[in-house]
Amino acid sequence: MSELIDRLRAGLPAEAVVVDPAVTAAYRHDTAGFCAAGQPAALVFPRTVEEVRHVLRTATGLRVPVVPQGARTGLSGGANAVAGCILLSLLKMDRILELDPVNRIAVVEPGVVNAALSRAAEAHGLAYPPDPSSWESCTIGGNIGTGAGGLCCVKYGVTSEYVLGLDVVLADGRLLRTGRRTAKGVAGYDLTRLFVGSEGTLGVVVGAVLALRPAPAPQLALVAEFGSTGAACAAVNAVTEAGFTPSLMELMDSVMVRAVNRYGNMGLPESTAALLMVAFDGPERLRELAAVAELCTAAGATEVVPAEDQAESELLLQARRLALTAMDALGTTMVDDVAVPRSRMAEMLAGVAAIGERCGLTIGVCCHAGDGNTHPIVVFDAGDPEQVARAKDSFEQIMALGLELGGTITGEHGVGLLKREWLARELGPVGLELQKQMKGLFDPLGILNPGKLF
């Protein structure tokens, strides 16, 4: 360890290398529960690409594992330390290097916070659409690592659709540039897409060229109450089948609605079995909302309430963003992230409710209903071993249900440590073998975020 620290400090400012266990302990894990975290050998805070290259060259020379980190808001254990590793925090690489309104691109470092980029783009009449619930704190590098989604992805898509090019430091310290700055480009294999969602297992992202879009008009939203989750899902299907593309379409079950009310005093209707939020931001938003209100009523909505203005619409959106925090207030939580075909979302919600009953646990569900991405959140007492066992069992049952319905074990949170056994089930033996071979090509020594994904 002494040699490691000496070599790191030879190419980094003194303050960039931290070995104090009291400090490194705070960086050992992300926000996922039930994921092991080892004791790191060092925590480093590079500010330049060359400093990152020095860290990787040092790690390769000494065969030391490296765990890249952003804001550690992840929910799969993907940023958790392994024993004796270098924790490579990219938080101090936080500059927006370029914002080009003509070509509609931004060039950023990985530590830029999602909300900071959004606000910078807004000043030019542009938008960076991917908006995870943690957008006020999560970083672009972390978003790229997990392939993050968000509330507005039903219309605008997820992170992978906005990453045009990347600067990546490979395990041996070489700097790779992928992709392009142009609107189009198909030269060679698409290595950019390969790195998006790779969770730091293939290389360390140190820069990104991101696509921007014209800023949309303010959203207007409505809320529809339903007597069952099945009726709410029928409304979602009707909206999609009718050809509408909302800027947001979110669903919360009764457990989630009550939790949000208790936590944020939001005044949502607790009598409802499911609450559907739909918003539009186009020039025809008033007409589209009126048409969707009719579709919701036809699907069985007991009440449909349109927001009177943008401020009320934003209040509804804030209620949805509070979902995870509100559930955390009820106890220890395990957050799942299972996406299914939209047409099977009702079966998913009904199945999760049945799992909660069988396991005797509180499970609330919020969904990115427009794309079938469900987030069941299991609540339990971490001090009760029997409840912990039931919580783990329910989590496993939920993932199994998602695969049975033709879905995926993760729509946007990533695999990390939490779901690596399930990744093998989803990919199958051939797919898993090829992915491991790809990992070996980029990281032959296996030092980049070891133990994650596989």
For residues 174 and 222, membership in a common domain is answered with no
For residues 85 and 104, membership in a common domain is answered with no
**The pLDDT value given to residue 51:** 98
For residues 131 and 151, membership in a common domain is answered with yes
Question: Which DSSP letter does residue 216 get?
Answer: P
Query: Is residue 45 domain-resident?
Result: yes
Question: Which DSSP letter does residue 173 get?
Answer: S
In CATH, what number is assigned to the domain containing residue 13? 3.30.43.10
Helices (H), 182-228: 191-195
Query: What is the chain's alpha carbon radius of gyration, rounded to the nearest angstrom?
Result: 22
Strands 126-127 and 96-100: unpaired
Q: Which two tokens stand for residue 262?
A: 């208790």
In which domain, by residue range, is 159 found? 96-214
**The pLDDT value given to residue 308:** 85
Nearest Cα residue to 239 out of 284, 299, 286, 282: 299
* E-state strands within 109-174: 126-127, 163-169
For residues 198 and 231, membership in a common domain is answered with no
Nearest Cα residue to 256 out of 230, 274, 235, 277: 274
Our count of domains for the chain comes to 3
Burial environment of residue 388 by CB neighbours within 10 A (0 to 12, 13 to 18, 19 or more)? middle
Burial environment of residue 63 by CB neighbours within 10 A (0 to 12, 13 to 18, 19 or more)? exposed
Query: Is residue 83 domain-resident?
Result: yes
For residues 233 and 305, membership in a common domain is answered with yes
For residues 208 and 224, membership in a common domain is answered with no
Q: Please, which residues have CB within 8 angstroms of residue 431's CB and are 6 or more apart in sequence?
A: none
Query: Is residue 120 domain-resident?
Result: yes
Query: Is residue 440 domain-resident?
Result: no
**The pLDDT value given to residue 150:** 87
Query: Is residue 344 domain-resident?
Result: no
State the Cα–Cα distance between residues 106 and 129, nearest whole angstrom: 12
Q: Averaged in consecutive runs of 10 residues, what is the pLDDT profile of the chain (454 residues)?
A: 95 97 96 91 98 98 98 96 98 98 98 98 97 93 96 93 98 98 95 98 98 95 97 98 97 96 90 95 95 98 92 86 92 95 98 97 97 96 96 97 98 95 96 97 98 95
In CATH, what number is assigned to the domain containing residue 169? 3.30.465.10
Query: Is residue 353 domain-resident?
Result: no
Query: Is residue 274 domain-resident?
Result: yes
For residues 131 and 209, membership in a common domain is answered with yes
- DSSP string of 345-397? HHHHHHHHHHHHHHHT-EEEEEEEGGGTEEEEEEEE-TT-HHHHHHHHHHHHH
State the Cα–Cα distance between residues 364 and 376, nearest whole angstrom: 6
Domain boundary among the residues 89, 107, 127 is at 89
State the Cα–Cα distance between residues 207 and 193, nearest whole angstrom: 14
For residues 41 and 148, membership in a common domain is answered with no
Domain boundary among the residues 67, 89, 111 is at 89
**The pLDDT value given to residue 267:** 87
Query: Is residue 449 domain-resident?
Result: no
**pTM for this one?**
0.95
For residues 191 and 284, membership in a common domain is answered with no
For residues 170 and 259, membership in a common domain is answered with no
Strands 338-339 and 373-380: antiparallel
* E-state strands within 48-112: 66-69, 86-89, 96-100, 105-108
**The pLDDT value given to residue 310:** 87
Domain boundary among the residues 214, 230, 248 is at 214
